[in-house]
Amino acid sequence: MIRLNMTNQPGLQVVDEAEIFDLEGLILKKSAEETASGEPESEGTKQAPDESIKVPDIEDIPDMPLEPSLPKESDDQGIDEDLFKLAEANLDLIEQAEEEETGSKAKVKKAPEAPVKDKKRPKKFPLLRYGIIVGGFLVLLFLFWLYSNGKLTRSKVNEVTRDVAETVTEKATQTAERIPDATRQLTSEVKDVTEKVSSEVSTSRERVATRLSRSAAGTYQYGQSDLSDNVIQVVQRGQAKLSLVTDVLAQFPADARILYLRLKDDKLSFILYVRSHQVAEQIRGYFTGQSRFLSPEVFFTENTGKYPENPVEIMAIVRFRVKGSDDRRGYKYLTDRQLSQYIWQAAVESGARMNPLKISSRDVSSVRSAEIVGNGKIVDIIALLQELAIQRHNLEVALVSLKSDAAVSVSNGILDYHLSSVIYPGNM
Amino acid sequence: MICISFSDEYVRYGQLVKNGEEYIIEVVNKFPLSTPFSPENVARPELAGSLEKAFLDIRADLMKPDDYAAITLPSVWFDISTETMDTDITEDDLEEALNWKIAKRLGEVMDQKFVQYYPLPDKSGSKRSFLAVSYFKELGKLFLRASQAADFNIHIMDINLFSAALALEHLEDIGSKEKWAVWLVNEPVHDMLVIEAGTFSQLCRFEFPDMENYKILHKSSASDLGEKIVANINGIRTFELEQFSAVDRIYYYSSTVDSEFFNMLLTYDIENFNTIDTFANQKPVRLFEDDGNGIGAMCQFIDLLGLMFRKIPKENR
């Protein structure tokens, strides 16, 4: 790595200081009094070697860019007054130079958005467009002819406008009289079409239902699973993690503020603000009192005073154990579309907001990652996690992240959630 | 050797001495500054007084007298850019050409600034690259006055991220072909140094204006590598990403160890995203532990160790 030394000469640096190891500054000098008196070294300097190296006085260092003589009082005043102006001018110029260099000023970057495609509109009715242009041109010529012949006066224009208005009013009255008949006719036609479509849909539903029931009756037995034992085990671990998070969230007092909570692998970490050390101890007790949690790796409490009503900050890292269940019945393989619908439905029922499910790849034969992201009130998120925790499909929630700005209490605030998941193929 | 690191609110320092073949870190300590060391305070006499007091406090705290000082300062005080030159420019003309380019960049304040150029290893072969660093001479004067008041002689002046990178490079045994970054978590404005193939690549300053976005405030070159890393960091912050892909590894440390954001980062369990215990291998005789003795507290001294490594041969580190 490059080694800067801004006490060297200005300009191009040719000496690679990186390889120079000198002892200057490392071997202590004896104090002047000691040298003069020849007294033994004091307790504090017993270990200092006898040899000393002369460190040049700053006045004598020729390479030192810092000015060796102190300026006069009046100079200082002038320098100080000008310095702000110089700094501001410098800043402007630097920004200008950077702008020229990078082509743009510092800019706020948002999450990448899908590029808006510049759709090329097909040119419809080219002849009609040309006709309109030519017609417009002829009208202009005609108006010019009228004007040049004195026929386009204010009174003529008023007269023509009045005629046009009367004609339009008359036509409008006639049309209005015909509308009820037209509406009645249209309504009856729409009704016919709706009834026809409705009856066709009902028939189709009956057919699909019949087909599904036949298929189910012929293929599946109650409780049979589509997934292999290995996949079921990892899905169960994901279920257990979700249950664990919901349990922990339920332990947090309603008036506490949560900054974040994160569960990954076998580790749960969070920062929480609570009203007292007593409450913090209760939370610690929750973790120490259950066998599924190991003794907290970190459980740090501190009075921060950042939030007057929640002055105690808890920073915790707790390891835990989750285990699968012997109940392996009913684990079904769902397609991406079905999974997406299922998860979306869980969000709708819980009341939490959710973005569309993001799946990393279309290759359904491989193990893929999926991201479930959204936000909501803590009760809604608990409901969502509980719903996902009981799902028996080919989806494992591997990581849970919850985050808020801790501006308001757990019960009133909005939490962002992010569930990193894994989708397993049906053939594993 | 007294190594001193200045941040916005604190001065940290350590003393390194050589006794026989042994290199000993005598003390590592930290004091608050009475006036924040930030560019907007540069014209305030309180800042000069604060720096002078800092040097005097350090002098008073030293068990062993010493006057050889090395300092490292925040990058916000420096203008840093990468300049490229054609290879056909002769050595004699090189400095003049670089001065001409920097004068265009700095404008009329060029005369008020102290400028240095550090050659960077060739990447393409068709161009030669230089790291250009400049600072107002007034900053130098400020430190000269303050250090002389306490009888210190400043022999080395560095930038804190560069010092930190030097320490990390050796402590972590980072390969010469790796692409990595060191991030100074310093709310609200963050600084990051990117290193490629063992040398400087880019310095980037950025902030997180809200819960979802990031904003690049400064880049030392037009390369988008730094911004890609910041985008990665933002993705981790917003849970969109689970690992860094823009570089092989990222190290982070902070001068404000009680920052919530920094403490949140400490709990992240990401393979190529780490901080470091500065004194895991070599404990100072007297070490500041008022902020705790965990990795989150110890990482704040990493740039001090970088200064010390300038004087400690590799085999003794």
CATH classification at residue B239: 3.30.420
Say how far apart CA A35 and CA B65 lie, in whole Å.
Answer: 13
Each residue's pLDDT tens digit, B23-79: 999 999 999 999 999 999 988 999 999 999 999 999 999 988 889 999 999 999 999
The answer to whether the beta carbons of residues B222 and A101 sit under 8 Å apart is yes
Same domain, B144 and B55: yes
Same domain, B253 and B158: no
The answer to whether the beta carbons of residues A381 and A415 sit under 8 Å apart is yes
Beta partners for residue B16, in sequence order:
B25
Amino acid at B307: L
B182 touches chain A (CB under 8 A): no
Residue B85, judged by CB atoms within 10 A of its CB (0-12, 13-18, 19+), counts as middle
Same domain, B164 and B124: no
Domain C-terminal end among B116, B131, B146: B131
- pTM higher than 0.80, yes or no? no
**Cβ–Cβ pairs < 8 A, chains A and B:** 237
Q: Do A93 and B105 touch (CB under 8 A)?
A: yes
Interhelix angle for A229-251 vs A378-389, to 10°? 160
Domains of chain A: 229-423 (3.30.70.60)
The answer to whether the beta carbons of residues A413 and A378 sit under 8 Å apart is yes
Same domain, B154 and B118: no
The set of long-range contacts for A271-274, using a CB threshold of 8 Å and a minimum separation of 24, is A271/A313, A271/A314, A271/A315, A271/A316, A271/B260, A271/B263, A271/B264, A271/B267, A272/A313, A272/A314, A272/A316, A273/A304, A273/A306, A273/A307, A273/A310, A273/A311, A273/A312, A273/A313, A273/A314, A273/A406, A274/A310, A274/A312, A274/A314
Q: What distance, in Å, lies between the first and last C-alpha atoms of chain A?
A: 49
Q: Which residues on A lie below 8 Å from B68 (Cβ)?
A: 24-26, 55
Q: Do B109 and A110 touch (CB under 8 A)?
A: no
Same domain, B155 and B166: yes
The interface residues of chain A toward chain B in range 378-417, judged by CB-CB distance below 8 A, are 399, 401, 403, 405, 416
Tokens 């009228």 belong to A146
What pLDDT is attached to residue A50? Answer: 33
Same domain, B268 and B285: no
Each residue's pLDDT tens digit, B251-296: 999 999 888 788 878 877 788 899 999 999 889 999 999 888 889 9
Same domain, B157 and B284: yes
Q: Nearest chain B Cα to A32, which residue?
A: B65
Same domain, B121 and B228: no
Can you list the residues of chain A whose pLDDT is less than 50?
18-19, 31-94, 97-98, 100-124, 157, 160-161, 165, 169, 173, 175-176, 179-191, 193-220
B190 touches chain A (CB under 8 A): no
Same domain, B254 and B140: no
Say how far apart CA B156 and CA B134 lie, in whole Å.
Answer: 15
Each residue's pLDDT tens digit, B85-132: 988 888 889 999 999 999 998 998 998 999 999 999 876 677 889 999
The interface residues of chain B toward chain A in range 259-278, judged by CB-CB distance below 8 A, are 260, 263-264, 267-269
Q: Which domain holds residue B253?
A: 174-275
Same domain, B257 and B212: yes
CATH classification at residue B136: 3.30.420.40
Report the number of distinct structural domains present in chain B.
Answer: 3
Instruction: Output DSSP code: residue A320.
Output: B
Same domain, B209 and B91: no
The answer to whether the beta carbons of residues B120 and B130 sit under 8 Å apart is yes
Say how far apart CA B114 and CA B133 lie, in whole Å.
Answer: 8
Q: Do A89 and B217 touch (CB under 8 A)?
A: no
- Kindly give the pairing relationship between strand B2-6 and strand B68-73: parallel
Same domain, B73 and B200: no
B114: left (phi over 0), alpha (psi -120 to 50) or beta: beta
